[in-house]
Structure 1
């Protein structure tokens, strides 16, 4: 990354042209139709500074419609149409069609983000890329050495010299549509398809002999991901889980990870040996090693959370690795021989404990309305052909791609909720659950989300961040739903804001949201098959 090109300049218009194509590629040595941006997989990295205006002209040369979502970004009033959600904020960009996204980023927003397709199962085929917003460099928060930014945090352990972006996620050798068709069949039993590999910046090795299905392998084995670091420098790693299903645990042998950002929020530095990253989540960490020496090599591990898998895939190596080298070309050294950290229960990273770095961000607003109770699950009803439909409060979301919800008025026959005087959430249609907020008011509400399943759900809110006030542990017995007789004790100061947070299996969570940006915003599980099968709803902020 190149923060030095952005932190010292004023806000400006940044223009990109994206051409989307389907191309035969072999990121791990197995041939597959991969969706590329300008011939690249992953797509080009977008670097901005806070307050820049982003203009991206997209030409869709795929055989199906698509849209690009700017994951984690907030939008100014009146620009919700640029959020990139087919059936909600826009119609899909048709094959051979073009569309230009243009919006101004918030002067107050900086951090690690990404863009990805929100159409069909295209995210599983690689239609994504990194997006980083660098904060402007005030004199009091910058130490210059060679013209490069050195720190944002005050603690010496949080300083860095260079930045790397790591896009990490599970990978399927079947195309996304084929993968979802397998899931969307009563024969799957509602078991999510297990990936075949996990890629790091679009690359990884794979043992073709282990595959249990017919695949086509390239004659030359792919190279393992490698990163050569300067032992005299300190590195900031920006981490994004681009995967479709699995949580990833990232670690670097003998190195500590100083967590300094979560989903775009600067946090009080926390030291971790291994970091759990769910699909859609992002972190920034300072890579810390006491005395790196030229010639040293270490494993960077990005193992997959096997609790997400309900059946075995014997071709999958659940503990893929990359190589960290200090200033020595690959040709001069063998692979590392370092051992993985022994992470005890006491050492486990707990995202629930992250605190905002800015003291002013620790003020927690009071709620202005009663909590909203949500139940999320997957059910195979006979009337649905025993297919695994995802639900939020008994409604399974299906986007109306010909007439986006943003362009619709509430149904004329919608019945009004007597408590609010607004259309009831389930009166918009059989496949649309829409909660409206008060007109011309900033609403603060607690979302109580109950996960009634034997699998975790990383929920993502478009256009806003939220305070994760409480995330329960998985229940040993029963469903672990919110208990009104024995409610959890909520904090009185604000934790670090997030836009994607895991709700564990058979558990519940309380997210406090300040809905202050008008528009229609999707709230959904970021596991791809759960979203595509209907586990989503909409907030209509008026």
Structure 2
């Protein structure tokens, strides 16, 4: 079955089940419907939060449900935490222990939560990806995540890691403060603001993935589909007049952030997109990048930027000064989706989402969207390319050189291809000629811990046995057609010590002059099609760590592998009983080898 936009519009004009939620907080109405809430107050970080080196325990209660929402004005079913989108913000200090009680009330389907960028030292079974470090939390079931945040601080996020549920709304910010952070409130910036910048689709992830798994594909293509629009903190734009009806859609007011004149704002950009690389800008204001993922950075090449580009999973903080206007003035903030990163676009595709930056006096506020800005975008040509900010410009403020000596080297090569199914040929991605087989109820961590090891017919893997430096060579072989991939490695940060055009062998690698002098450290790195990178890790965090493309649709098509760190230590793990209990709750009709998260309703 092909899932078309117009078919969905027709279906949504029928009677639908509206679940309990809250009205949109900006007063925009969808008639008498009750929709997913937006808690924008959780995205403006309070100066009253105490930054301390005295650890504490922070406990959260989350319920994941399916509810109706309309981030861009188009009604659809979403998956949300505590009835809100974006999901709840976690704010903590380095050294704190985080406890999150999760109840899964999604009908029929399991789920899980990943803490993106958190090392999970000593608790690898809490990392979250279903089928890798845990079994899914079953529909109607619950699970408690508990982990300590040690030796790291900065901007992180959390998201669903079962299927492509991230794209349905299960994600939010995770901010870790530290007395050791070189970026200080009051010294370097006055206000601290989260901007969750993502993309949005009008079909559910389950519908999209099911269509992609057919020879016909989704929207007539097996390539990763483009989104409909971009979002700012849950607000987007859709042309309801052209593509909607009053029953399916309403026009939303744009996102608005009110700022005070002559102040410095730290904007923590978190790219939660399923696919889009996004250029971010504010009319007439230049941006100084000060953080890449969780690493504080500084260099002349990061100052005075007109646009900051980010890929799926990446985070950037920038500081901008509110010295371009007076109270009442307003400027457009823009999220421009790079079409260079998309294989095709549709008629409904809305490339630029606009939000409002409005100047107000301290202690006062204006009515939201009282008047719209009339400012113009920067006149310089938009470099509509699909690549990261220049690695050479991302110079860490706190120097931390990678291990000088490397005792272990591994290699991944990725490529796109096809597999023959009972329906015909379908697209899959391969790492080292293996396409990842999502066996949700057979976690790879458990296989290694129980002595069975990694089944390399289902997943490619690298083993690093010593707690020393290790290099991973990655060749992105998708050169023609050119497909760019944002790689994310769980469980550790990595140093980008080399990159270039083409592909390299291990012999070529031995001849390279790698950058080991304070290179950038991060956890998500884009490798362009037909390019290579060498990332260096310190293999001192035992576990089974997922490495994958962070484009949801590529991951769903098998773009993943695992890095097994110190398998001898992993075999001595005592995985908690509560974690193993999840694997006893396989939905009726499925088994340990099933690649479905649950039983779909009869159609």
* Alignment length (residue pairs): 504
**CA shift in 2, pair 1:141/1:261, >3 Å:** closer
Relative to structure 1, the CA distance from residue 105 to residue 383 in structure 2 (aligned partners, 3 Å threshold; closer, same or farther) is same
Q: CA deviation at 1:382?
A: 3.7
Q: Does 1:464 align with 2:497?
A: no
* Residue equivalent to 2:200: 171
Once the two structures are superposed, the pairs formed by residues 90-489 of structure 1 within 5 Å of their partners are 90-106=134-150, 108-136=151-179, 149-151=185-187, 159-188=188-217, 189-211=221-243, 216-218=247-249, 220-269=250-299, 270-271=302-303, 272-327=305-360, 329-330=366-367, 333-343=370-380, 350-361=389-400, 363-382=401-420, 385-409=424-448, 428-439=455-466, 441-453=467-479, 454-472=482-500, 480-482=502-504, 489=513
**In the alignment, is the contact (CA less than 8 A) between 1:6 and 1:134 conserved in 2?**
no
TM-superposed deviation, 1:214: 8.9
Measure how far apart 1:511 and its partner are. 1.3
Aligned-partner Cα distance in 1 for 2:266–2:448: 47
Q: Distance in 1 between matches of 2:383 and 2:161?
A: 38
Pairwise CA RMSD:
2.6
Q: 1:488: how far off?
A: 5.4
SS of the residue corresponding to residue 380 of structure 1 reads strand
Counterparts of 2:294 and 2:160, CA distance in 1: 20
Deviation track 1:48-95 (CA, whole Å, cap 9, x = no partner) reads 111110000000001210100000011222x00110011111110001
Matching residue of 1:522: 546
* 2:48 aligned counterpart, secondary structure: helix
SS at match of 1:198: strand
Segments of 5+ residues of structure 1 without an aligned counterpart are 143-148, 152-158, 415-422, 474-479
Q: Secondary structure at the match of 1:186?
A: coil
Which position in structure 1 is the counterpart of 2:51? 7
Moved more, 26-35 or 364-373: 364-373
Deviation at 1:122, TM superposition (A): 0.7
Question: What's the CA shift for 1:25?
Answer: 1.1
Distance 1:222 1:395, change over 3 A: same
Question: What TM-score does the superposition give when structure 2 sets the normalisation length?
Answer: 0.78
Deviates more, 1:52-61 or 1:250-259: 250-259
Gaps of 5+ in 2: 1-44, 567-603
Residues 222 and 331 (structure 1), Cα distance of their counterparts in 2 relative to 1, 3 Å cut: closer
- The verdict on how the C-alpha distance between 1:513 and 1:234 changes in structure 2, with shifts beyond 3 A counting, is same
Choose from 80, 103, 121 the match for 2:124: 80
- Contact 1:437 1:443 survives alignment (8 Å): no
Whole-Å Cα distance in 2 between the matches of residues 52 and 117 of structure 1?
Answer: 22
